[in-house]
Each structure stands twice: as C-alpha cells, then as structure tokens.
Structure 1
Amino acid sequence: MKINCSVIRFHKTGELDVLALENVTMEDPENDEVLFKVDAFALNRADVLHYQGFHTTVPDFPSRIGSEATGEVVKVGNKVTDFKVGDRVTSIPFNTAKYGVQGEYAVVPQDYLTKAPKNLTVEEACSIWMQYSTAYFALFHIGSVKKGDYVFIPAISSSAGYGCFELARDAGAIAICSTRTSVKKEELKQLGIDHLIVTKEEPVEKRLMEITNGKGVSFVYDPVAGAFCDEYLEALSTGAVVIIYGLLDPNPTLFPLVPLIRKKATMDAYSQFNHVEDIVKLNECKAYILDRVGKGAIKPVVSKVFDFKDYKKAYEYMLSNQQVGKIVVRVNTK
C-alpha cells in the first residue's frame, strides 16, 4: 500500500525557513514498524535543535522532523505484535534520523509507541512522552528523588519543566520552580505551583535557601545552563544532583569543579534519548507514566493548538517563549 501525503522535511540545517511542507510517498512499514495516520503532533525544543543541527540526532537529508504524535494505525510490519490496524497510538521520542512524525502519516518502531490514553484528548495524548519520559529518567534513575526532597525546576513554563514538576510532586518531593519574569506568574500559580522564583527580580540562591529552611536543594532540573548555574550552585545540599538537559543560555557552560566538590555534588550532561535505547528501562517508564496518566495523577497542559498549514506559526510561537505548556499542531481536523 503506497500512500501519498504531505510531511515536514528539511534538506539542510539552519533557521526555521529550512523547514518545508513536501509531498512524499510512504512505504509499507517493515518488520517491527507501525504506519499510522497522524491526527496531531507536538512541538519540542529538541525539534528546533534538530533543524539547526545542534541535536544529538544527526539529520539524514532530506530529513523528517518531530517525535511526538497521536494517530490511528493503518498498517503494521510482519513482526509487530503489540498493535493492530485501528489502534489509537502515541509516539515516544528516540534518537534516530530515519523517522519523523510531523506530517499526515508517520512510521515508528513498535517499541516507541503506546496506546493513546483514553482519558486524554488527541492534543493531550501527543504531549505526554517527551516531557514525562525526560523527567522520569532524570528524577528517578539519576536523581533518586524521593518523598520530602527539595527539587529545583527552572523554566517551569516549558512543558519539560511542568512535566518534571508534576512527577516530582506526585512522588512527594517539594518542587521549587522559577520563571524569568512575572508575566506568567499568576498563570503558573493557578497550575498549583506554590514555590515560584522570578529570576530577574529575586536572588535565586537566597530564595532557595529560604524556601528549604537552609537545607538547600538535592536535585536541579536545568534547561538553561550557561551562567545561570552560578545562581544556584551555592544552594545545593550535600550530595545533590544537577541535571543539565538544555542550552537556553547560548553561552558556554563552564564545569563548576570547586562548588561541586564542596557539596559532594554531581552534574550530569543529560538526554532522555540516551535512556530510551534501553528497552527494559523504556518499558518500565511506559508502565509508570501510563499508570499515573490513567489515574489522573498527571496531565499535560496544552498551551495552544495550530492547524497543519500554520506549522511555522506554531514554531514561531514556541520560539517567542509565550507559552505555558505544550504547543500542538492538529493535522486531521475531523
């Protein structure tokens, strides 16, 4: 079965204008692959790094883009055992240049798909895996975060930040979050964020120590890096873990050897993509997240939904940093 459809691709790295909507012919899925019709896909900062050429996934030109989508299975490979035609599925991000889901149809190996949770909308269902799997491995496999721990989550208005907040709170940890300005402060408070630091208006180290009653934070989930690290390193508790998972500050991140030694702390150059390659760990993550989503303990926040033809406007909106939560593009409007 050959399917002609439109997908987003790029033929060279660069800025947003390298992305284009192109007609392609979808091949039948091979072996463990699943072909599905995309209803909606979500945008991530990783997608921007991908088309710019700065992501761990190296583009294979002409390269498709995107890793989170929800849709209906239309055909499966001959070794697929977990899915059948008609199933509603949602995809999990993983490190490969061969696949991309931003388009009318997508192909993904069955290991990186799950059934779409029935208690979520289409837009919500395509918004769970990047934010929750990234936070899951960081919090529980690297950070060993437990009930009562103080967790610092900068850039809380991003879906990744909010996903970490939800999982940390669900596990009984005490989340301290930050945002650059007070523009989103009230909206963030309405999402249940009790401890919020406005970094352009408040001294981060001082506020962290005040909130923790002088104990310091045992885990940091930092997408900013660069010079921002200096604002919280002295507020770490002994044995703390710092996760660097993004580069919102374009300046180099210097390794803070002395502050880390003083606190017996560690700093991890982290990517979710390095963890989902372990299928045992991946299946553990799937079970955990699907359980918590299914029970309503965690639920993604969708900031704004765009039509497929307006996908570049969706990227522009993400780059403007106006959002609180996920940005989604709806492909199938039926």
Structure 2
Amino acid sequence: MPDTAKTVKIVRFHKIGGPEVLQFDELPLPEPGKGEVRLRVKAIGLNRAESMFLHNRYLESPVLPSTNGYEASGIVEAVGHGVDTSWIGKTASTTPAFSLNQYGVYGEVAIVPIHAVAEYPAKLSFEEGTSIWMQYITAYGALIYYGHLTKGDYVIITAASSSVGIAAIEITKAEGAISIATTRTTAKKAELLALGADHVIVTEEEDLVARVNQITANQGARLVFDPIGGKGIEALAHATAVLGTIFEYGALAMEPTPYPLFTALSKRLIIQGYTLRDILADPIKSQDAKKYVFDNIVAGKFKPRIDRTFPFAQIVEAHRYMESNAQIGKIVVTL
C-alpha cells in the first residue's frame, strides 16, 4: 500500500564538499510527472560517481541545492502521465540513465523517468537489486559491446575491488577469458582470488608490466579496463597487447593522464574513453545489456557482492566509508 505521509525525507546538499554536506530535507511528497514514476525506496546502492559529484569532480557540476544518487530499489507506488499503470506495486530498481541534476534517489522516495526503471530477478533482495545495473552494465559496455571479449582473452582490471571491478571479473570468467586484477596492497588479494580473479597483481609490491608479461607469455593483455587514469596509463600501455584496447572509464587518480604516444604507435593501441551512458542512452543497447545481466544473474554466474550496509540515517557515514576505499564490493544504504 502507498505511504500516505504528506512529507518525506530527501537527502540533498546545499554546498560543495565531502560527506558532511549531505543533509536530510523534509519536503512535500513529490508526484511523478509525464513519463515518470515514484519509487518507495527500500535500498540505495552507493557509487563513486556520487562522491565525485558531491565534490564537484564529476562529468557535470551540481546545481544547488542538489539531490544525488543513481541506484535504488523499491516498490513503484505512483506513475505519471503516459506510464503504464501496471507498474504500480512492482518491485524494481533504477538504472543510472539520467542526469544527477534532474533526478536523484537518495530519499524515502525517488522520482525517476520510466526508462530508468527495470525489474530485476525475483531471487534478489532489495539490497542486491540495487547493486547490479551500474556495475554490470559499465563492465558489459566496455568488455562485451565494444571489447568483443572472447574465450582466452587476457583482461587487466584495475581498481578490481570496486563493485565494477568485481563485475568485470565475473563477466571475464563467464566468457571464458582470463582476468588479471590489480590492487594497491595485499589487503584485498585473497578476497579477489576468492571472487574469481585468475591472477592478482599487488601494484605497490610488484612490477605490473613484468607480471603481465609473465602471465601472458610476453603477449600482453588484449583488453584493459581502467577507472583510474593518471600517469599509471604508461605502464598499462606497456602491458597491453599489440592492437589491444585500453578502456578509460574514470578519473580516480585526479591528475592529468598523459597519452602514451610512442607505445600506442608501436602497438597500434586504441585508448577509448567510455561511460555506460552510451549504452543506456540507446534503447536497443540498453535492452541487450539489461538482458545480459538479468540472464547471468538467473543462471548464477553473477552475484552482486555487498560489502557493508548502513541504515538511511547513517548515509553520511556510508559516504565516509566509501571515501576510505576499504570496501570490496558494493556499499548499500537501507530504509
């Protein structure tokens, strides 16, 4: 049954900063407009993009006061004009197919466009249901749609303990390819191996290029999946195979990323900037991506890993934990 409260708590921020600028605003219960639905939120999946947005280091700058959040799961309780009323009462989650300056899901309810709503496999909990689309579709777009990942390919996955990194490990395994995960310290090595990584390189202790050459018999990796950027791209280029592709899908290094010209020339490398927006902006690509994720979850090949959950009242603490980089997998806020 729909909640009849006339006001709801929505998390917004009124100035740029860290987690501490997030605040609970009591606002009138919003009504969905044309092409929109209102989701009664049960769980929120946090993403690094939202932290970057909070700090004004993202692809778009916040218009204050701003909402935040791409991924939530819950129950559709109201629909706007033009939306099939059969959605009412359905359990669903949101895909990151919108601008954070137009929509956000940090709240007791979320107004989102219907094209950003998807049903997920019934065997998943609310916590798991909010932990699939961003990570799996991000990895799918680079590795499957653009990278044409095939059996026997070597794939370097940096920042491998993130939810997207773990999704990339699972996709690589599902396609019969070989994952080379990287992590800065030994703290997460055993867990990454347990999660299915074929090889793990501890970059603060091992030479990345030497280890990749050892693993690949000096051939290098055909695909590199990197959200870090920065000067580390030089080593990644040296570790990439001739005619290989480096997908840059983030800027966690927060420093300029030099173009490795001579290595790219000698190996005829492709260095491709990529975000999942390209997949989600196209109805056919989006449908194919969601089906790929859905089917692999049902088949048991993909299982979202939740590192830790926080109650809604502790969303600031959840953001602080995300910025600590201690997690392996997804951080989820529950309502």
Shorter-normalised TM-score: what interval?
over 0.9
After the TM superposition, which parts of structure 1 deviate over 3 Å for at least 4 consecutive aligned residues?
A: none
Match of residue 34 from structure 1: 37
Asked whether the 8 Å contact 1:38–1:71 carries over to 2, the reply is yes
User: Could you report, residue by residue, the CA deviation over 1:60-94 in whole angstroms, capped at 9, with x for unpaired residues?
Assistant: 32211001110011111221138521100111012
User: Which one of the candidate residues 10, 16, 24 is aligned to 1:21?
Assistant: 24
| Alignment correspondent of 1:202 | 206
**Residues 117-144 of structure 1, C-alpha deviations (whole Å, 9 max, x = no match):** 2111111110001100111111122212
Distance (whole Å) between structure 2 residues aligned to residue 252 and residue 207 of structure 1: 25
SS at match of 2:93: strand
Q: Which runs of 5+ in 1 are unaligned?
A: none
Cα distance in 1 for residues equivalent to 2:48 and 2:172 = 21
CA spacing shift, 1:312–1:246, aligned 2, 3 Å = same
Select which of 38, 59, 63 maps to 1:60. 63
- Which string of whole-angstrom CA distances, capped at 9 and with x for unpartnered residues, describes residues 193-231 of structure 1? 230000001000010011111111010001111111122
Amino acid at match of 1:320: S
319-328 vs 24-33, which deviates more? 24-33
Q: What is aligned with 2:157?
A: 153
Q: Give runs of aligned pairs for residues 126-275 of structure 1, distance below 5 A.
A: 126-275=130-279
CA distance in 1, matches of 2:289, 2:5: 34
Match of 1:86 in 2: 89
Deviations 1:137-185 (A, max 9, x none): 1112221211111100011111011111111211111111011000112
The 8 Å contact of residues 170 and 196 in structure 2, kept in 1 or not, is answered as no
Alignment partners' CA distance in 2, 1:82 and 1:135: 33
**One-letter identity of the residue aligned with 1:91:** T
In structure 1, the residue corresponding to 2:301 is in which secondary structure?
coil
Match of 1:119, SS state, is coil
The separation in 2 between residues aligned to 1:251 and 1:314, in whole angstroms, is 25
Partner of 1:282: 286
What is the one-letter code of the residue matched to 1:201?
A: E
* 2:46 pairs with one of 36, 43, 46: 43
Helix, strand or coil: the match of 2:28? Answer: strand
- How far apart are the structure 1 equivalents of 2:300 and 2:120? 14
CA contact (8 A) 1:82 1:110 kept: no
CA contact (8 A) 1:157 1:179 kept: yes
Distance 1:181 1:170 in 2: 26
TM-superposition CA deviations, 1:86-127 (whole Å, max 9, x none) = 100111012411110011000111111111321111111100
Equivalences for 1:99-114 in 2 at 5 Å? 99-114=103-118
Secondary structure of 1:267's aligned partner: strand
**TM-score, L = length of structure 2:** 0.95
> Over aligned residues, Cα RMSD in angstroms?
1.5
TM-score, reference length from structure 1: 0.95
CA distance in 2 between partners of 1:250 and 1:182 (Å):
23
Deviation, 1:58, is: 3.4
Structure 1 contact 2–26 (Cα < 8 Å) conserved? yes
Secondary structure at the aligned position of 2:287 is classed as helix
Q: Structure 2: how far apart are the matches of 1:244 and 1:14?
A: 26
State the one-letter code of the partner of 1:40: A
**Which residues of structure 2 form unaligned runs of 5+?**
none
Q: Find the residue that maps to 2:87 and give its secondary structure.
A: coil
2:56 aligned partner, one-letter code: G
Is this contact kept in 2: 1:307–1:330, CA < 8 A? yes
Contact 2:45 2:131 (C-alpha < 8 Å) held by counterparts: yes
Which residue of 4, 10, 23 maps to 1:7?
10
Quick one: distance in 2 between partners of 1:63 and 1:236? 40
Q: Which moved more, 1:289-298 or 1:268-277?
A: 268-277
Percentage of matched positions with identical amino acids: 37
| 1:275 alignment partner, SS class | helix
| Rounded Cα–Cα distance in structure 1 between residues aligned with 2:134 and 2:261 | 30
